[in-house]
Structure 1
Amino acid sequence: MKSFKDKVAAITGAGSGMGRELAIELAGRGCHVAISDVNEAGLAQTVELLQGCGVRVTSQKLDVADRDAVYAWADTVVAEHGKVNLIFNNAGVALGTTLDGADYGDFEWIMNINFWGVVYGSKAFLPHLRASGEGHIINTSSVFGLFAVPGNGCYNASKFAVRGFNECLRQELEMKGEPVSVTSVHPGGIKTGIARSARMTDDLNKFLGKDEQSAKRDFEKLFITTANRAARVIIKAVEGNKRRVLVGPDAKLLDLIVRLFPSGYQRLVMMFTRRQSVI
């Protein structure tokens, strides 16, 4: 997809962060946008920022964990725009907990949004993307979909699952000669509100020897890439039909470390985690 002019992009999680910046960047390239988010106030702010951009903008409150709602939204996007060429399954949440301390409700909550939300969005939009004759699915995994970190097991599981889903879907679509491609997105630390809105269990606080607020502040210090920069990197990857895109210098460095030390990287991660904790 070398040009976004007069294309239609659907974006989840567009009420803030990368989703909002993706909408702004795409609109600036002449792409019509259909945006959604569970946060209505944030979504309204994004719509306001898109005013006067010269493209059609539609919005809808959406919980990506609700399969029926996602399918209904896909149909609505096509009804309102006439077609859809791109789906950015960007919505996601974070959860800090040890695996021993996580209950099944924790797993279900994060998997329903981070993994099932991607699956629902991909499958709901795929027939419409195919019908457009030129479609692209862009699913957000994470740098934590490349390596594991103590205290982030549930998040790791969801993002590793997204990575596997993306890679398999891309291969299957290519083998069938479909006019639809897939890009797997692996952001490093992006300056968004995901850390502040993350759920964090008492078990993790005890594991790290920190209170929740200080743990979140320390985590945010690792965020080095702006959401706007991330959006531009992702869009460039779509233009180049990349199978996956590493967003941020930290993501590239960590990917290299995992490639060089497929098992040994775990010791490095544990050393870093211990240094960040007060245990």
Structure 2
Amino acid sequence: MIQFIGAFLFGSFPGSAYRPLLQALYAQGYSLVLHRFSFNPVQFNHWQVAFGLLERKQQVLDQIQQALPPDKAAFYADPTNTCWLGHSLGCKFILLLEILSNQPDRREEILRGALPVLAAESILARLGHMERTSADGGQGVRDQASILLAPEISNTVRVLRSGWQISRQGVQPNLQQTKDLVLASFELFNLTGVIGFNSDGISLDDVEFLRSELARREVPSLPIAELEGWHFEPLGLHVGRLAQSIDDGFVQLRATLKQPLVS
């Protein structure tokens, strides 16, 4: 099962904006859960978005357990059968989900080291509440593979090919904090792949940053690919090669689950 979150604007109507890609993945045998990007109102607190994703993830699993017979529901109950796919800014939320799913002691250390005191306290308090009340006991996205398509984690969103930008100075966490969180989480992202595009002028720096970081992880052969196209290639009609690269990446990542690594 793939849980998908798309780009700013287009991710607010993912079923139509990404239809060709989603259809191609469905044809490859994946079940799909689409998470809408909050565009109206625009959400500047990306931690809130990440917490919302954790809550909706559990709601989806609860609905599956109620709707399917036990033998089929058991497949979806296994966390290793869930994968995450993000595009553009949607990838940032997947990164935050990974950080929130770290072991409690390390998670607290990383959050306190990268964020202002009040921000870290607020996040840790909400995490504590979720872990006490969640059916998965704080599992989060541990042991779940993820692939990031043209990841964009900066504080500026560009619209299509134009120079028009939406600057988000009050976004949380900001670009430097996000990078610091990833840099400090050296035991994480062992089940993460990145797919970039050779004509992408929007997320080039972020793609290079994440590629460099993944190269330092315990798994030396994480799927890192560069395909032809621009930043919004996943929205196109001719996405057969991209869909195959995504499938190949998930197969490779899930194979690493046999190793004793933290996701």
Which category of TM-score, normalised to the shorter sequence, fits these structures? 0.3 to 0.5
Give the structure, 1 or 2, with the largest relative contact order (CA under 8 Å, sep 6 or more): 2
Q: Point out the structure with max Rg over C-alpha.
A: 1
TM-score by length of structure 2 reads 0.41
TM-score by length of structure 1 reads 0.39
